[in-house]
Amino acid sequence: MADCAAAPTLYYANRIVPFDAYKNLAVYFDRLMKRPSFARVFEEAAPYRHLFPAA
């Protein structure tokens, strides 16, 4: 349940400030992105990603 809550926030946070300096967080986020359940949600949200106000 915690992963489900953290994943979207971490995705957008990583877009603003990449996790390069935070190795453990980067590894955790990489594992989240590889989870089939999150990968499916991430793919389904693709049409809406452009609405996020980031470069």
Looking at the domain assignment, is residue 49 inside a domain? no
Residue 8 pLDDT? 86
Q: Please compute the mean of the pLDDT values over residues 10-29 and round it to a whole number.
A: 93
Looking at the domain assignment, is residue 31 inside a domain? yes
Residue 55 pLDDT? 59
Residue 55: CA count within 13 A, CB half-sphere: 3
- Interval 23-54: pLDDT, tens: 999 999 999 999 998 888 889 989 998 888 76
Q: How far apart are CA 40 and CA 33, in angstroms?
A: 10
Looking at the domain assignment, is residue 48 inside a domain? no
**Count: domains in the chain:** 1
Q: Please compute the mean of the pLDDT values over residues 3-22 and round it to a whole number.
A: 89
Looking at the domain assignment, is residue 44 inside a domain? no
Looking at the domain assignment, is residue 33 inside a domain? yes
Looking at the domain assignment, is residue 55 inside a domain? no
Q: Which domain holds residue 7?
A: 2-38
Give 19's pLDDT tier (boundaries 50, 70, 90).
very high
